[in-house]
Structure 1
Amino acid sequence: MNILITGASSGIGKQLALDYLATGHDVYACGRNQEKLAALQSELPPTQQNHFHAVVFDVTEREQVQNALSNLEQLDLAILNAGVCEYIDDAKSFDAALVERVFAANFFGVVYCCETLVQHMQSGARIAIVDSMARLFPFTRAEAYGASKAAVHYFASSLRTDLKDHGIAVTTISPGFVETPMTDANDFEMPMRISVAKASIAIQKGLAGGKPHIAFPRIFGWMLAFLHRLPYRWQVGLSSRMRS
């Protein structure tokens, strides 16, 4: 398959790129840092070098996205994984620019990629969009991150319906905590955090099975789904306890 992966220079995206290359696929590894993508390519054995294609652009820049992706017309799978996380430490006095930055990467980055990709993808292709389990619960300090992931999940779910008649499938991916440079920066406990290797396996397995939604780790997902169904007043109370 020809597979495009955004956010491929680190974390889940990097592991997916390595794993798909190891099984003989052609990978278009996307990122904004050319040096990191070159370093990723240097890790590959010679037999995989010709299957690796670095695509350098910033997902938050619509024109860059269009220029980078408009010529990729034979994609079988696009995994839109690039994202950022910033927390609001003082809700009484926060900077709206922080929210804009998070939405630019996590939401509009996906929108810009889809805008170009769906014009060229053929029937039988699939788009996989990474959101987060954080969208299920009003976590403290996560106003920007959680809202952006809730928005992109809704966008992807609606897009799935409207692309069905065109034969293009859409899968949503909701990870819990995964050991990545982004979560390494967190200053709080992260229950059931898993390795990028396990995350990659879960994603590959779900996509190979044609699943419309992939969530992992499973037990953590069940816990958050249960909390999501509680009365909202209870959810706020639990979130407040986490803050204190």
Structure 2
Amino acid sequence: MKRILITGASSGIGQQLALDYAADGWQVVAAGRDADKLAHALASINFEPCIFDMQEPAAIHKAVAELAPFDLVLLNAGNCEYIDDALHFDAELFARVINVNLVGTANCLPALLPRIKRGGRLAVVSSSVSFLPLPRSQAYGASKAGLDYLVRTLAIDLVPHQIAVSLIRPGFVDTPLTQKNDFAMPGQVTALKASAAIRQGLAKGKSEICFPFGLISTLRLLSWLPQGLWRRLAQRLVRSQP
């Protein structure tokens, strides 16, 4: 039986992945900060809970120290907050998002990388936001751009250790996190579809998994525009929001 550890497994994409991998016959180790929330979210499956806060490296080491090795470690936990007034830049919000999404992920690596089997895989959930500079996304976008670079460099340096690496860059997925958004989310998919895309991509050994196709194709095309042209277009999009 293959073993997977998933962070952020108590809601959203992480919860759906845990449910689906268990249904596929994997042994699921579900990681989260709140044992009760985790138990409620995954009440329908058998799983091994792993409770830690990604901001506490010592707690991560302690929580995983006795766990059996993994075929796949999927670092999914993250948060999103927006900077609404760039002129009065919220540095505390910026640091908070960076610490959760980027530093929190990095905190997991020393404890979890040695527990991945040779021939296993590390997968990290980033975001399609890093294709383009988007309004209000200074903190969230910077955290995800940092993750992209981190994961791509790990993909090079972990080759001698026979650990494959996958970068996952979803578009808008219907989760409790995105339900807080107050703007249009083109191409939004369900957590069920997101899980299917991720699992299919990982099964094929893809180094980057980007979805949905239509949104990602549009973002790629827009990213080729001159920066000045994109800024003017982005400003028009902001003014057109209700």
TM-score normalised by L of structure 1: 0.95
Q: What is the number of equivalent residue pairs in this alignment?
A: 238
- Taking a change above 3 Å as real, the CA distance of residues 242 and 61 of structure 1, as seen in their structure-2 partners, is farther
Q: 1:201 Cα deviation (Å)?
A: 0.3
Q: Deviations over 1:1-23 (max 9, x none)?
A: 10000000000000000001111
2:231 aligned to which of 225, 228, 236 = 236
Q: 1:230 Cα deviation (Å)?
A: 1.0
* Residue number in structure 2 paired with 1:225: 220
3-state SS of paired residue (2:77):
coil
Q: 1:38 Cα deviation (Å)?
A: 1.2
Q: Is the 8 A contact 1:70 1:117 kept in 2?
A: no
* Residue number in structure 2 paired with 1:183: 178
* Residue number in structure 2 paired with 1:114: 109
Matches within 5 A, 1:1-244: 1-44=2-45, 49=46, 52-244=47-239
In structure 2, C-alpha distance between the alignment counterparts of 1:224 and 1:78, rounded to whole Å: 28
Q: 1:73 Cα deviation (Å)?
A: 4.0
Pick the structure with more strand per residue.
2
Q: Deviations over 1:25-53 (max 9, x none)?
A: 10011111211111023233xxxx2xx01
Q: Deviations over 1:192-237 (max 9, x none)?
A: 1000000000000000000101000011101101111111111211
3-state SS of paired residue (2:31):
strand
Which has the larger displacement, 61-70 or 194-203?
61-70
- Structure 2 unmatched ranges of 5 or more: none
In structure 1, C-alpha distance between the alignment counterparts of 2:67 and 2:155, rounded to whole Å: 21
Q: Deviations over 1:84-105 (max 9, x none)?
A: 0000000111221111111111
Q: Deviations over 1:53-91 (max 9, x none)?
A: 111111122222222223334100011000000000001
- Structure 1 unmatched ranges of 5 or more: none
Identity among equivalent pairs (%): 46
In structure 1, C-alpha distance between the alignment counterparts of 2:188 and 2:42, rounded to whole Å: 27
TM-score normalised by L of structure 2: 0.95
Pairwise CA RMSD: 1.1
